Structure 1
Amino acid sequence: MPDARDASPYDALLLLSFGGPEGPDDVIPFLENVTRGRGIPTERLKEVGEHYFRFGGVSPINDQNRALLDALRKDFAEHGPDLPIYWGNRNWAPYLTDTLREMVTDGHRRILVLATSAYASYSGCRQYRENLADSLAALEAEGLELPRIDKLRHYFNHPGFLEPMIDGVLRSLADLPDDVRAGAHIAFSTHSIPTTAADSSGRVEDHGDGGAYVAEHLDVAKVIADAVRERTGVDHPWQLVYQSRSGAPHIPWLEPDICDHLEERHAAGVPAVVIAPIGFVSNHMEVLYDLDTEAKDKAAELGLPMRRSATVGDDPRFAAAVRDLVLERAAVERAEEVTPCALGALGASHNLCPVGCCPSRAPRPAAAGADSPYA
């Protein structure tokens, strides 16, 4: 194991997330930020905004990030390393550029980044790297000394990410009525993305047939299903499903959709379903609306007992996993021998995104990768 308190050469950690509105007046400006450059009409944004307005115009993601920050700071204070932790968002305050400016002003020059996305994909990895490059370019234009930025590896198969989800599925199964529990189906849910984006996710050698995005989710689902079988003695059938599709109807996206899946499982005679949102770190809007609202309503309409298991959120085991990832990457940078911690069949992800990893349709500079313009 790496030294429990040595994060050198790094001098700060940045929590990088999506962001969300914190009141009704924020909703449309936030959605304009999210869709900038796509030509989405305001009327369509207002339709999407109804998802937020039904929850008071507030996305839970910012409060969830505050809770994760508290958990990380508590864990680091108790166990080391002595590393300040900052927070910046892609689409809402605190904005990434403002946070990086603050970090540079505070004297930080070697920064590690934790993105609140565990898997390989354009929107979950490379787009954040593009955001970092944009922010570094803005700071460079201001004449500031630029820090070196590295991104923590994908943590989808780290035990500290998986164990809370395993426990969540077990709790959901235990909460089902006795007469349907043994036959319950597990629907492992994640964000749908265009099939072309899925096929090109991960390293070039991983491209095709869903790419790293689908492979990583399938690996996580199998680890959780196997753990549930080992701890309960029941082999529950399962499937990877998708939610939160957006975009033009003629563009193929990953399927099946969770609500379609519930209908199909009900027609097949499944007595109950547990939905496990393995693609999400916390209970943000896609979980609250697509699962706790739409999928819940669909299950009720079908008369199908359904439970939704917990996301990782600010679980102390996840905070400890982040600490482990920080110390692991620091040891790698110091050229020390490290055994990365990972469950499942895929092994630990790469530390440095290679050229061609999760490419965008219109190539843009991306920091913290092999193709970064910022060494």
Structure 2
Amino acid sequence: MKTKFENIVASCQIRFNRGEASTWKHSDFLDLSREILRDTKVSISANTLKRIFGKISVYQYYIPQQATIQALEKYGQNLQPDIINEPNDEPITSTTQQLNKSTQSRLNRYKIPITILVFATLVILAFTFFLKDDTLKSELKFVGKEGNLPATAFFEYTVPESEDSLFLNFGDKTKWQYVTAGKAHSAHAYLYPGLFTISLQSRKNTLQSTRVYIPSNKWIGLGYRQGEELPNNYYEFLARKTGKDSLFHLSNVQLKTKGIDTSGLVYTRLCNFTPIDKQVKNFIFEAKFKNVLDENGLYCKSAQFQITGNNKNIRFRITTPGCSNRITNLLSEQSFVGSRVNLSKFAMDLSNWTTIKMINHNKKVSLYVNNKLLYSGNYQEPIGPIKGIFLEFEGTAFVKSCSLKTEDGKILYNF
């Protein structure tokens, strides 16, 4: 397929007769587009032609759509390089008879230069096939939202032509949306609060990304099934304290009554994404909680908290013994992955009341668990204005308190 396509492209260059494609200007590609439309009734944009003829780099093994290939083949009259190199005069086929007389005369007069030109073009095309396309005009833009919580966010995007399937990943654990080449709009419902990164991407690479902030303006409780898409399996409610000693607890019974399958592992979360008016550089996070052990099976249980900044996050996870390989901790620009480094000090019994205190001072973080220093480290990139916090558990848990305050004691979030 690739060899045939290269020959078709070479034939089109010969037919167009304006020298090597690498020297063509934008006006040449516009003229070629008009000629192809006149001869084939198929419109191929100048930018697409630039990709085909190597003026714009393309994804590895790029091949245009079949309709485009057929139009190019018709325009080039299937003229192949080996026909030009033939030493004897062969009868003109019915296809080549359709070329005008002046074009045939030029071909006969410049056989050797044209052969060199075709070879050079094929080399250029072969080289560009192996280049990653960083110049394609892909775009993704957040243009607004409707509602508070839940909220519908609106996006505009431009998708380039690509061999790879491309998707919109909305960053909230919902299914990716398949997209096709061109400009379009998309609307997506966010069911729980947070700062989400939306990306236009293939299954492995990201072309463009943007962000959308969904505030809560209150404490929210959330429960959902492991590995399931949230729109089909979640329970969300306003989390309120009824008294000084009251607890936050989302039980399996409550989840079952909401239609959530609790035969496997579920996640529960307490979060608050109320915007903070001014940027806070130094702060203290504190929480007191305990996990509920599952009597029906042996599972990894964990508790994690996150301070979400506009630019970066600070996140720590503590897990039951034997499960530290599943931890991913974030400290602004740094990440610590349990499958790559030893994070066994973050493994401990969570069935008893556990206290956490994290002090962030001048980009230095000190994490205390049950009044003992567990971790201390520095980071370089500021996390930016704080957008929210959450405390999340594998399984169900009891939360007695959760707060974030400034160094001088001003309360930012308090449960």
TM-score normalized with structure 1 length? 0.23
Larger Rg: 2
Question: Which has the larger share of helix?
Answer: 1
TM-score normalized with structure 2 length? 0.22
